[in-house]
Amino acid sequence: MFFNSLSFAIFLPIVFLLYWFVFNKNKTTQNAVLIVASYYFYSCWDWRFLFLLVFSTLLDYFSAIMMENSTTDKKRKIWLWLTIGINLGFLGVFKYYDFFVQSFADLLNGFGFQTNPVLLKLILPVGISFYTFHGLSYVIDIYYKRITAERNFIDYSLFVSYFPLLVAGPIERATHLLPQVKIKRHFNFEKAKEGVYQIIWGLVKKVVIADSCATYANAVFDNYESMNSLSLMLGAVYFAFQIYGDFSGYSDIALGTSKLFGIDLLKNFNYPYFSRDIAEFWRRWHISLSSWFRDYLYIPLGGSQGGMWMKVRNTFIIFLVSGFWHGANWTFIIWGLLNAIYFLPLLLRNKNRSNMGEIEMGWNFNSVKAILNILGTFVLTTVAWIFFRANSISEAIGYIQKMVTDFHFDSQYLSNERYNFELLLLVLVFVFVEWFNRSKVEPLSGKASWIKVTLAIMALLALGVYSDYKEFIYFQF
Amino acid sequence: MKQFLVFIGKIVLVLLLSAFALDFIYTTVFAQSEARNKVENVINSKPQDYDVIILGTSRANNHFVSELFEKEGLKTFNYGMSGAHLFETSLMLKLMIERNWEIKNIIVETDLNLSNEKRDDGTFGRFMPFLHKSETITNHFKKEADFTELYYVPFYRYIQFDEKVGFRAWYKTLLNEPTNTLANNGYYPLGHNPKANMKNNIEKLKPLRNRYFEEIKQICKANHINLIAVTTPMCSNVKGMEYFKKVKALYPEIKEYEHVVDGDEYFSSCGHLNDKGARLYTAKIIEDLFKK
């Protein structure tokens, strides 16, 4: 059941009505209805993986209590590593086993040894990377005594399986979400209205921007050998907007949906393509994952405490792991590596926190500099996205090589029966809308909101891509 | 909560009004056009007189050279449509009759398309703007599983088939931007394709006693149109050519022309002749069926 499907449009109002009108007695009944809804939501993909979700919930719930009850640090540590080991073990088997075995076999073949690797070819349970990290943050926080273990199983289950964030985040923290599910929620009109605006805007990003860009990006990437420089550049730009519209659109719908139930989720995007350097980009893109790696990997590794070498080493580790988190393919690892390389000059010059404030525009040199920096950062991220999108490293290199050496800039007719420039106007309009609303969560609220909502709905109807139904990209992770 | 329910009610109202408004705007624009594809060319047409009308799939569209018929003094138009099934072919004929076209001969490509009775979404979508305009279209689509929503939910049909009748098609229609679909009296010549896959496997195909071919036969009979049903050529490397024998057994009236063009140099792909091959094929058809 996707957020952009008819079934979700039926499911959401039913859950909303049950939640506020039938099971509104206390927080336990509210949580219970959300858990049932979440399990139903998850089972719509594949009911068999519900067992995995329930197992993961039970594991983290009991090991957190055991950890808290442990009398010695050694026992606490055993419980921590046992939980991390089992959680990552599941992730490893489902997501990475085939990759490691195949890569090892390829390596041996390279040395002349004939191998016949046994691959599992398992279906990846949807959202496994998200709820695994979700649970891990909880047990690690317990271990470091940042929070106390949750004894109420219903509350804890909701923390893990809450449907708006279950399949593609944001990766929540117990410190943020658990306190909200432990109290009865009261209906707040302003919050719910904000949620509806965010859902509508998220749908525009997904159905109008991302899915339109997808048809063009696919047509270019799938036929990159016959494309010229202009088409390849546009293909990369379209993919940059596809992935942004897709993932931030999903996050907006998730956050908006959650607001309807009176629960705030962590902000996941903050207009990342308006970043002035790559460090700022990573503070604005998939914020819940970046901050997860910062808090649970970078800082435990020593963070920036051990001098420059330590900082560089830890930065490369988190970018490589972040790349690998996205998928079992070398392309994601290279994507992570590229971002680490982009980050390096900022780190070496201690400039990685120089663009912390909001962008202020005026008729002055600083504004011109900011715009050029934004464009430069966008170009860098777009080049990195080529590796993210390509099926193999050689394909990505071939794509870039052709893009910079072909030197033909005439408009080409694509396999989607469109010209490669046709989408640019829509993308530009989208960029302007986001730019002038960058201080807000979404552009629909505020003055003339009904006109903006009407335009958004008309855009959804008239400009949305529906016939070629498209999943959210991040569901595969 | 009451305030919120009113708010949601207003959003739903905006959605409905927008859908009605867009439906009206799209339908009005598509109703004015007849130059962008063959479906609207027939639907928005005035009564016509033709000696020969060609119907079928791309294997009709790319194989029957209208110009060669015209040279023989036969007013001809090729209404073959790439991807179309007999479901849409039959509807096209019904629409021509509904618009009082006078047709002497109809050539229908009847070979691989006999194997299914389903709709082709790509072609089906092109009829959507006219769903309420023509009773013939409404009746033809009535048995489709999604007919109710397509017919009654405003703008749903444009959303469902946005690739064919979505925003892009709409604004190009509004700007009256022509396509090449109607050039060469509907015939679309294919060139030589050095990368073409010159083999095919049709072993799994099974010809049906196709209800839409039966419909075509009945319409022709009722309107005194000479129906010529023919097969069209395939390249040399095809597995399962016995299919054509089964076609013949099922429909003895279908004329066998699958072998009349020999040599892969006359093909653009295994199932499609290039222009040179199409001319040979058409010449043979004219020779056999219009000169004897």
Query: Could you report the per-residue pLDDT of A418-441, keeping only the tens digit for each?
Result: 888 989 999 999 999 999 999 999
**Of B18, B159, B160, which has the smallest distance from its Cβ to A454's Cβ?**
B18
Determine contact, residues B66/B39, Cβ cutoff 8 Å. no
Structure confidence by residue, pLDDT tens digits, A304-315:
787 888 889 999
Q: Is residue B33 part of a domain?
A: no
Would you state the torsion angle of the CA atoms of residues B108, B112, B117, B123, taken in this order, to the nearest 10 degrees? -70
**Of A196, A464, A465, which has the smallest distance from its Cβ to B11's Cβ?**
A196
Peptide bond into A170 cis (omega under 30): yes
**CB-based contacts of B17-24 (< 8 A; 24+ apart in sequence):** B18/A454, B18/A457, B18/A458, B18/A461, B18/B155, B19/A461, B19/B153, B19/B154, B19/B155, B19/B156, B20/B154, B20/B155, B22/A458, B22/A461, B22/A462, B22/B154, B22/B155, B22/B158, B23/B154, B23/B155, B23/B158
Determine contact, residues A297/A321, Cβ cutoff 8 Å. yes
The pLDDT of residue A153 is: 95
Determine contact, residues B117/B90, Cβ cutoff 8 Å. no
The pLDDT of residue B222 is: 95
Give the CATH number, domain containing residue B62: 3.40.50.1110
Name the pairing type of β-strands B49-55 and B200-201.
unpaired
Q: Is residue B80 part of a domain?
A: yes
Identity (one letter) of the amino acid at A188? Answer: N
Query: Is B155 in contact with A461 (Cβ distance < 8 A)?
Result: yes
- Percentage of chain B beyond pLDDT 70 is 100
Structure tokens at A150: 């949750």
| Distance of alpha carbon A11 from alpha carbon A31, whole angstroms | 17
Determine contact, residues A473/A388, Cβ cutoff 8 Å. no
Closest CA to B149 of A331, A38, A466, A153: A466
- Percentage of chain B beyond pLDDT 90 is 83
Q: Is residue B96 part of a domain?
A: yes
Buried b or exposed e, range A163-178, using 16+ CB within 10 angstroms:
bbbbbbbbbbbbeebb
pLDDT at position A220 over 90: yes
The pLDDT of residue A116 is: 80
Q: Is residue B152 part of a domain?
A: no
Count Cα atoms within 13 angstroms, Cβ side, for A402. 22
The pLDDT of residue A477 is: 63
ipTM of the complex: 0.86
Q: List CB contacts (< 8 A) between B22 and chain A.
A: 458, 461-462
Average pLDDT for residues A16-42, to the nearest whole number? 95
Closest CA to A48 of A150, A101, A122: A122
Determine contact, residues B83/B120, Cβ cutoff 8 Å. yes
The pLDDT of residue B147 is: 94
The pLDDT of residue A468 is: 64
Count Cα atoms within 13 angstroms, Cβ side, for A42. 27
The reply to whether A426 touches chain B by the CB within 8 Å rule is: no
The pLDDT of residue A279 is: 95
Closest CA to B235 of B213, B215, B265, B207: B265
Structure tokens at A48: 């068999």
Average pLDDT for residues A390-415, to the nearest whole number? 94
Determine contact, residues A168/A41, Cβ cutoff 8 Å. no
The reply to whether A6 touches chain B by the CB within 8 Å rule is: no
State the CB neighbour count (10 A cutoff) for residue A291. 18
Containing A391, the helix (H) or strand (E) segment is: none
Closest CA to A477 of A56, A204, A131: A131
The reply to whether A9 touches chain B by the CB within 8 Å rule is: no
Q: Is residue B227 part of a domain?
A: yes
The pLDDT of residue A476 is: 64
Identity (one letter) of the amino acid at B251? Answer: Y
State the CB neighbour count (10 A cutoff) for residue A47. 11
Confidence of residue A366 (pLDDT cuts 50, 70, 90): confident
Determine contact, residues A318/A294, Cβ cutoff 8 Å. yes
Q: Which residue has the tokens 């909880």?
A: A138
Confidence of residue A466 (pLDDT cuts 50, 70, 90): confident
State the CB neighbour count (10 A cutoff) for residue A89. 10
Query: Is B1 in contact with A462 (Cβ distance < 8 A)?
Result: no
The pLDDT of residue A470 is: 67
Identity (one letter) of the amino acid at A160? Answer: V
Determine contact, residues A217/A407, Cβ cutoff 8 Å. no
| Distance of alpha carbon A169 from alpha carbon B283, whole angstroms | 65
| Distance of alpha carbon B279 from alpha carbon B208, whole angstroms | 30
The pLDDT of residue A111 is: 83
The reply to whether A457 touches chain B by the CB within 8 Å rule is: yes
Buried b or exposed e, range A326-343, using 16+ CB within 10 angstroms:
bbbbbbbbbbbbbbbebb
Residues ≥6 apart with Cβ < 8 Å to B181? B36, B37, B38, B188
Name the pairing type of β-strands B272-273 and B267-269.
antiparallel
| Per-residue DSSP letter, A47 | G
| Distance of alpha carbon B66 from alpha carbon B79, whole angstroms | 10
pLDDT at position A83 over 70: yes
Q: What does pLDDT average to over chain A?
A: 92
Structure confidence by residue, pLDDT tens digits, A170-200:
999 999 999 999 999 999 999 999 999 999 9
Q: What does pLDDT average to over chain B?
A: 93
Q: Is residue B10 part of a domain?
A: no
| Distance of alpha carbon A335 from alpha carbon A319, whole angstroms | 9
| Distance of alpha carbon B81 from alpha carbon B83, whole angstroms | 6
The pLDDT of residue A351 is: 87
Domain count within chain B? 1
| Distance of alpha carbon B147 from alpha carbon B138, whole angstroms | 9
pLDDT at position A471 over 80: no
Q: How many helices (H) and strands (E) does chain B have?
A: 14, 8
**Of B7, B19, B158, which has the smallest distance from its Cβ to A193's Cβ?**
B7
pLDDT at position A467 over 80: no
* Whole-angstrom Cα Rg for chain B: 21
Residues across chain A? 477
Q: List CB contacts (< 8 A) between A418 and chain B.
A: 168
| Distance of alpha carbon B65 from alpha carbon B86, whole angstroms | 21
Q: Is residue B218 part of a domain?
A: yes
Q: Is residue B175 part of a domain?
A: no
The pLDDT of residue B198 is: 84
Closest CA to A181 of A76, A258, A253, A267: A258
The pLDDT of residue A353 is: 84
Residues of A with a known catalytic role: 326
| Distance of alpha carbon B91 from alpha carbon B94, whole angstroms | 5
| Residue-number span of the structural domain to which B104 is assigned | 42-145+184-291
Q: List CB contacts (< 8 A) between A20 and chain B.
A: 1
The reply to whether A61 touches chain B by the CB within 8 Å rule is: no
* Mutation for testing the A interface, residue in B12, B126, B162 having most A CBs under 10 Å: B162
Structure confidence by residue, pLDDT tens digits, B171-209:
999 998 888 899 999 999 999 887 788 888 998 899 999
Structure confidence by residue, pLDDT tens digits, A252-303:
999 999 999 999 999 999 999 999 999 999 999 999 999 999 999 999 988 8
Confidence of residue B292 (pLDDT cuts 50, 70, 90): low
The pLDDT of residue A112 is: 82
Nearest residue of chain A to residue B14 (CA atoms): A454
Structure confidence by residue, pLDDT tens digits, A39-77:
999 999 888 889 989 999 999 999 999 999 998 999 999
The reply to whether A16 touches chain B by the CB within 8 Å rule is: no
The pLDDT of residue A469 is: 55
pLDDT at position A210 over 60: yes
Structure confidence by residue, pLDDT tens digits, B200-244:
899 889 999 999 999 999 999 999 999 999 999 999 888 999 999
pLDDT at position A358 over 80: yes
